[in-house]
Amino acid sequence: MVVPNISKQFGIAIRDRRLAAGLTQERLAELAKLHPTYIGMVERGIRNPTLDAADRIAKGLEIGLPQLISEAQGQGVCHTKGEIRSHGRIA
């Protein structure tokens, strides 16, 4: 099994949380005071957010940055669309 790098894992955690909250990338960007394109690139693991940007994203998702990082590392579970997901795998 290939394990995604931390940037991709972090992006997956953000996307899972965003979808679970019913937010669009545009709305999360507004809440985090970031550009929607930037949110999309972070979710895809193309861009690595600064700590400041990561914290703003976490606040936009109404969770703490440590929790978001924990979910990205596979220690947390996120509920998305009626499924329990842990890094893209059905738990």
The closest of 38, 17, 14 to 26, measured between CA atoms, is 38
Q: Which residue type does 21 have?
A: A
Give the full edge-to-edge strand order of the sheet including 89-90.
78-80, 83-86, 89-90
pLDDT digits (tens, 9 = 90+) for 17-72: 999 999 999 999 999 999 999 999 999 999 999 999 999 999 999 999 999 999 99
pLDDT of 9: 94
pTM: 0.78
The whole-angstrom separation of Cα 13 and Cα 62 is 13
Domain map (residue ranges) of the chain = 6-90
Task: Give the homologous superfamily in CATH for domain 6-90.
Answer: lambda repressor-like DNA-binding domains (1.10.260.40)
